[in-house]
Amino acid sequence: LLSTPLNPLQHDYTQAMQRSGTMLLKLLNDALDLARIEAGRLELEPVAFEPRQLLEEVAQLEQGLAHARGLRFVLDAAADLPPQLLGDALRIKQVLLNLANNALKFTEQGSVTLRAQRIDGGLQFSIIDTGPGIPEASQARLFQRFEQVEGPQRRAGSGLGLAICRELVDMMGGSIELESRLAHGSTFRVRLPLAEPPAPLPTAVPSSDRCYRLLLVEDDTIVAAVIRGLLERERHAVVHVVNGLAALAELAQSSFDAVLLDLDLPGVDGFQIARLIRQREHRQQHLPIIAVTARSGNKDEAMARDAGMDGFLHKPLTGEQLSQALARVIGSTSTAPVVPQETD
């Protein structure tokens, strides 16, 4: 909607809806993360990642909020950062985004700096702001659940963010500390033990400006309309079906560059559909399949890979996430059309 022609009042309303949805999603994710931590079901998934790229992604996400508040967001990454490290990049990014968001929220003027430097056996991340500082009496309880610093922004959050940051950093074997003085700003420091992988791995997938023919398998019409709109804005051709059997029928008569497949479909689920597609492929054929799901379990991605899927995306998602996933799976696989085998 924001990418379509709107008058100023409609644009303001739409931005308010987007901000409210983003905040609601954060509150839900915080509650889910806390529940998983308490149940001992939150598992880290260490993989090789590029620390500089991760920092640039965090900075890019924070630039918009900083600009809206009239602040500068500064990325200060040491020149000697390793090209790759082993760690749960998603959870590291979650911690840094949470700390950076808090710093921007409570800073009225000046800047917020995200600094990264090597330490013995890992990295140290520092989030430094020029805000009002945090009273010493509040610092000790700030990492407790449902605790927030008093101020006009107090209601713009759950009071869970810093508690979850501490839990995640503990799970990663690191430490988090706060240094703050009234009227002199605050600095959060996160130290994480991160090993270097034994051999260099492929770099980030380059973006592609190709237009693809895509099959979207999604039973929720609203979700399908959103995903279709995001894809068509990038000039991709999209065929939408609401169940797995209809997807197999489309694949029997048309060729596609990739399939976007919901996992929880009526009748035959996405896992079974992916297996059927793989069973019907001839030798040398491989149709890229990307799982698109609202599931939040730790083992769902592994199950999707076992079923033959090449990518995995969580709803709600952005156009950028879709583009990156398509570039990744189509760039690394053969996109010959699937032709079902004859059956008796």
3 state SS of 8: helix
Residue 330 has pLDDT above 90, yes or no: no
Contacting residues for 176 by C-beta, under 8 A, at least 6 apart? 95, 143, 165, 166, 169, 188, 189, 190, 191
Average pLDDT over residues 65-91: 92
**Which has more confidence, 328 or 124?**
124
CA 318 vs. chain centroid, Å, equals: 9
CA 234/CA 232 separation, integer angstroms: 5
Distances (CA, A) of 332 to 60, 203, 250, 253: 26, 13, 24, 24
- Structure confidence at residue 87 (pLDDT): 93
**Which has more confidence, 285 or 344?**
285
- Structure confidence at residue 334 (pLDDT): 45
Closest CA to 59 of 48, 67, 70: 67
Burial of residue 43 (number of CB atoms within 10 Å: 0-12, 13-18, 19+): exposed
Of the candidate ranges 62-66, 158-162, 251-255, 289-293, the one whose mean pLDDT is the lowest: 158-162
* Domains of the chain by residue range: 44-193, 213-332
Burial of residue 136 (number of CB atoms within 10 Å: 0-12, 13-18, 19+): exposed
CA angle 188, 137, 165 (to 5 degrees): 35
3 state SS of 128: strand
- Structure confidence at residue 50 (pLDDT): 92
**Which has more confidence, 65 or 227?**
227
- Structure confidence at residue 154 (pLDDT): 45
- Structure confidence at residue 200 (pLDDT): 52
120 backbone φψ class: left, alpha, beta (φ>0; ψ -120 to 50): beta
- Structure confidence at residue 336 (pLDDT): 43
Average pLDDT over residues 253-277: 93
Which helix (H) or strand (E) element contains residue 75? Answer: strand 72-77
Closest CA to 202 of 318, 81, 91, 48: 48
Determine contact, residues 122/192, Cβ cutoff 8 Å: yes
Q: Per the CATH hierarchy, to which homologous superfamily does domain 44-193 belong?
A: Histidine kinase-like ATPase, C-terminal domain (3.30.565.10)
- Structure confidence at residue 339 (pLDDT): 43
CA 79/CA 58 separation, integer angstroms: 18
Average pLDDT over residues 258-272: 93
**Which has more confidence, 168 or 208?**
168
Average pLDDT over residues 27-51: 82
Q: Residue 68 has which token pair?
A: 């809206």
**Which has more confidence, 254 or 29?**
254
CA angle 267, 273, 276 (to 5 degrees): 125
Contacting residues for 57 by C-beta, under 8 A, at least 6 apart? 93
Determine contact, residues 256/279, Cβ cutoff 8 Å: no
pTM of the model: 0.59
Contacting residues for 185 by C-beta, under 8 A, at least 6 apart? 107, 110, 128, 129, 130, 131, 132, 133
Q: Residue 201 has which token pair?
A: 């791995």
Topology at the third CATH level for domain 213-332: Rossmann fold (3.40.50)
Cis peptide before 316 (omega within 30 of 0): yes
**DSSP structure string for 16-52:** HHHHHHHHHHHHHHHHHHHHHHHHT------EEE-HH
Mean residue pLDDT across the chain: 84
Give residue 60's pLDDT band: very low, low, confident or very high (50, 70, 90).
Answer: confident
